Amino acid sequence: MTRRSWLLGWTCITFWMLSCRTELIGLQNDLQQQPRIINGSVARADETRHLVSIRLLRHDNNFGSGHICGGALIAPRKVLTAAHCLYNNQRKRYRRASEFVVVLGTLNRFERRNGTIVSQVSSMAYMHTFSPDSMRDDVGILFLRTGLLSDGVHLTVAPIQLAGQVTPSGRLCQVAGWGRTEQSSLSNILLTANVSTIRLQTCRMIYKSGLLPGMMCAGRLQGGTDSCQGDSGGPLVHEGRLVGVVSWGYGCAEPGLPGVYVDVQYYRQWIEERSGAPSCSLSSSLLILMLCFVVAVGNP
């Protein structure tokens, strides 16, 4: 082979490594986010069929114990969550898709019943502008290996639609999750709480420059009811449509400090455009490498 073919070969390999870098560098990690919903009530299965539990595979040997975040099924194999759920803060890098397991169709996170779907993650997407420091663009998507059948009618699992319009302030919404409760221990059962959308102006006054575009507040200004650590990634729902994703807050359920959510409407286009393009699956990698080889050899 000539120098030119070597050069071509190396360019291809470099390109492949760059395109796969998030997968390649994602080694084991430990971030333990702690889940909660403060002052909620037990969720009804028919109202939360879109709720998924996102878990770390290696902590889930006792089924349910690996729960780190919530998420919402938005298409048969597509789960919307928070980007920070996909990020290992200790190691300062994204986790690999293979580190996750996603569970659908059970209210009790420890229970695996007939309709429960347990899926591996085939690929993931997140906004590359996400910042763990500012929580800017805290949106992520997981593509499931085994989701719903496309036309599938399922008793306990169903996708939820994204909100089509901006939700005005003062609207009653539901937030749900397996997070810690006011007793500060993880909830075994899915809990839900009623919170209201809060005026952007009010929210800005509270969080000042911490409130970035694409963020919105929901909660109760008198305090007492809120989502909390580990409810992250979970859905905020208004009239059966997904309006927000649990992102951050200052403490939990504190008076005057409502929860901050990802504004789904703001990211709608980005969310809808993502489809399960493999980030770096074995088969696609092999295909690219084979092509590189063919190009290199075919250019003597």
Q: Are 64 and 85 in contact (CB under 8 A)?
A: no
Question: Which residue has its beta carbon closest to ligand ARG?
Answer: 249
Taking the C-alpha atoms of residue 218 and residue 237, their distance in angstroms, rounded to an integer, is 11
- Residue 30: other Cβ atoms inside 10 A: 11
The verdict on 33 binding ligand ARG (CB under 6 A) reads: yes
Q: Minimal distance in Å, beta carbon 294 to ligand ARG?
A: 46
Instruction: Quote the tokens at residue 47.
Output: 């109202």
Stretch touching ligand ARG by CB under 6 A, among 109-117, 154-162, 246-254, 282-290: 246-254
Q: 182: closest CA among 219, 224, 221? A: 224
- Residue 70: other Cβ atoms inside 10 A: 31
The verdict on 228 binding ligand ARG (CB under 6 A) reads: yes
The verdict on 230 binding ligand ARG (CB under 6 A) reads: yes
Residue 214 backbone class (left: φ over 0; alpha: ψ -120 to 50; beta: rest): left
Q: Which amino acid is at 166?
A: V
Please say if 138 is a catalytic residue.
yes
Interface residue with ligand ARG, options 229, 263, 279, 292 (CB under 6 A)? 229
The verdict on 29 binding ligand ARG (CB under 6 A) reads: no
Q: In terms of CB distance, is 103 or 292 closer to ligand ARG?
A: 103
Q: Are 225 and 193 in contact (CB under 8 A)?
A: yes
The verdict on 72 binding ligand ARG (CB under 6 A) reads: no
Taking the C-alpha atoms of residue 223 and residue 104, their distance in angstroms, rounded to an integer, is 31
**Rounded to 5 degrees, what are φ and ψ at 246?**
-60, 125
Q: In terms of CB distance, is 212 or 288 closer to ligand ARG?
A: 212
The verdict on 232 binding ligand ARG (CB under 6 A) reads: yes
Please say if 232 is a catalytic residue.
yes
Q: Minimal distance in Å, beta carbon 246 to ligand ARG?
A: 5
Taking the C-alpha atoms of residue 130 and residue 3, their distance in angstroms, rounded to an integer, is 40
Taking the C-alpha atoms of residue 285 and residue 278, their distance in angstroms, rounded to an integer, is 10
Stretch touching ligand ARG by CB under 6 A, among 166-174, 180-188, 199-207, 247-255: 247-255
Q: 181: closest CA among 3, 51, 66, 43? A: 43
Q: In terms of CB distance, is 85 or 296 closer to ligand ARG?
A: 85
The verdict on 281 binding ligand ARG (CB under 6 A) reads: no
Q: Which amino acid is at 12?
A: C
Stretch touching ligand ARG by CB under 6 A, among 119-127, 162-170, 181-189, 228-236: 228-236
Interface residue with ligand ARG, options 249, 265, 271, 292 (CB under 6 A)? 249
Q: In terms of CB distance, is 228 or 292 closer to ligand ARG?
A: 228
Interface residue with ligand ARG, options 23, 99, 137, 226 (CB under 6 A)? 226
The answer for residues whose C-beta is within 8 angstroms of residue 34's C-beta and 6 or more apart is 179, 180, 186, 229, 230
Catalytically active residues are 84, 138, 232
